[in-house]
Structure 1
């Protein structure tokens, strides 16, 4: 598992003097690092350049100064930027180089993004999932915990990790075996079965109903 320092050393050797800001978000700052967690990081460059890929790093690249603008006014040089990312950087992100960014935005922007993502991405994905007789465990974890994060953010405005979202959803819907998903994400060898796949589908249907009523 790579560290921010290792990634910056890699970039500095290939882009000397260009990396003026680096900000970590995701599992590293949400207390949810697991064995296969990527390093989620936003890199600021002093001028446009192609940032080489690094295995284990999920990188968004912007020009210096971009993190002082609303997300809708920024075109990234690489990767994806969203209102949710802006809020993480503004609230819980860890700056490892440069000045801490302001990342202006509103809770309404974040909620609107989450609601749209539930439909534009997740609802379409679940239309495919419903036709599949089985899925590998890592995919069951993805579809079981991902929508729960959006559900919690829509309801509260808070951005939480996948594991925390699973715990919160399990408390809200205790009849679903969602804590099994959290346990497996954290390293348990518990087998995920068709029961868990059906629970993930049922959870999504309940989330969609809950946030649209």
Structure 2
């Protein structure tokens, strides 16, 4: 059954940052953006100040190319980072399989014609329960949105499976080789363990359900499925929420083992 769009409940810090951003965006590029749809952790109740970026789909009325230089500076100066993709209503209706590149922002850097990134069925599925902002005078009006594409549920299943097989399997191989000479007790970056432990399990949830769940929700589901990894998943989720943990190479190797189990599920599906 399709999800019903929730009432908008953006974290106050997100709403404030986006309101400032959208008003300045309108000043720099009048009439360009008709609406901005918040996706990702900020729309799922899993956004954490100081850790999470804000992901947005900017729906545009025209080709944004002439304004990209000014918009790039605006994105680069945003704090927290406001990332996203610029798409027309026509491109939204066509779906990600038909949109090969688009202007996209990653970690504050705007690329004029970037493939991949938010051009995936995961983004289109998130649009079905996103929060939409429209500039009205000197204010931004927030409301639920329900941009539905008939292929989104099937698409997100196939996308998640392919991502596990084509991307994460190679990530596991590379990380394992990089860690090979290190002792289990050696320290490792928190971000590395969080990324490897939480990314693939979220894709498994999408592959099996056709929904896009938060990383925190995916961690809880994965901990029940793989109790031997529950303690690591709990620490990764707590670290992401701001309760900083200490991770070792042994933890990273365990995260890779979990990644391998996720890839095996994709191979069997």
Q: TM-score, normalised by structure 1?
A: 0.91
C-alpha deviations, 1:50-106, integer Å up to 9, x for none?
33131301110012332233332335531231111101102x211112975333424
Instruction: Give the aligned partner of residue 97 of structure 1.
Output: 134
- How many Å separate the matches in 2 of 1:106 and 1:17? 29
Structure 1 residue 43: deviation in Å?
0.6
What SS class does the counterpart of residue 114 from structure 1 fall into?
helix
Q: Distance in 2 between matches of 1:10 and 1:192?
A: 40
Structure 1 unaligned runs (5+)? none
The 5 A counterparts of 1:47-196 are 47-50=62-65, 51=68, 52-53=71-72, 54=75, 55=78, 56-79=81-104, 80-90=118-128, 92-97=129-134, 100-133=146-179, 135-176=188-229, 177-196=232-251
What's 2:114 paired with? Answer: none
CA deviation string 1:10-64 (max 9, x = no partner): 2111101111121000001111111221110011111101331313011100123
The one-character-per-residue Cα deviations of 1:109-165 (angstroms, maximum 9, x if unpaired) are 111111111122111111110012364111111111000100111112221111221
Q: Which has the higher strand share?
A: 2
Q: Which residue among 32, 51, 54 is the counterpart of 1:39?
A: 54
Is 1:8 aligned to 2:22, yes or no? yes
Q: Secondary structure at the match of 2:251?
A: helix
The whole-number CA distance in structure 1 between the counterparts of 2:169 and 2:212 is 20
CA contact (8 A) 1:18 1:46 kept: yes
Secondary structure of the residue aligned to 2:227 is coil
1:29 aligned to 2:43? Answer: yes
Is the contact made by 2:202 and 2:215 (CA closer than 8 Å) also made in structure 1? yes
Contact 1:71 1:103 in 2 (8 A): no
CA contact (8 A) 1:21 1:64 kept: no
How many residues matched? 212
Cα separation, 1, equivalents of 2:100 and 2:264: 34
> In 2 relative to 1, CA 96–104 (structure 1 residues): closer, same or farther, beyond 3 Å?
farther
Unaligned runs of 5+ in 2: 1-12, 105-117, 136-144, 180-186
Q: 1:100 to 1:111 in 2, by over 3 A?
A: closer
State TM-score, norm by structure 2. 0.73
CA radius of gyration, larger in: 2
RMSD after superposition = 1.9
User: Are the aligned partners of 2:198 and 2:218 in contact in 1 as well (CA < 8 Å)?
Assistant: yes
Distance in 2 (CA, whole Å) between partners of 1:97 and 1:68 is 19
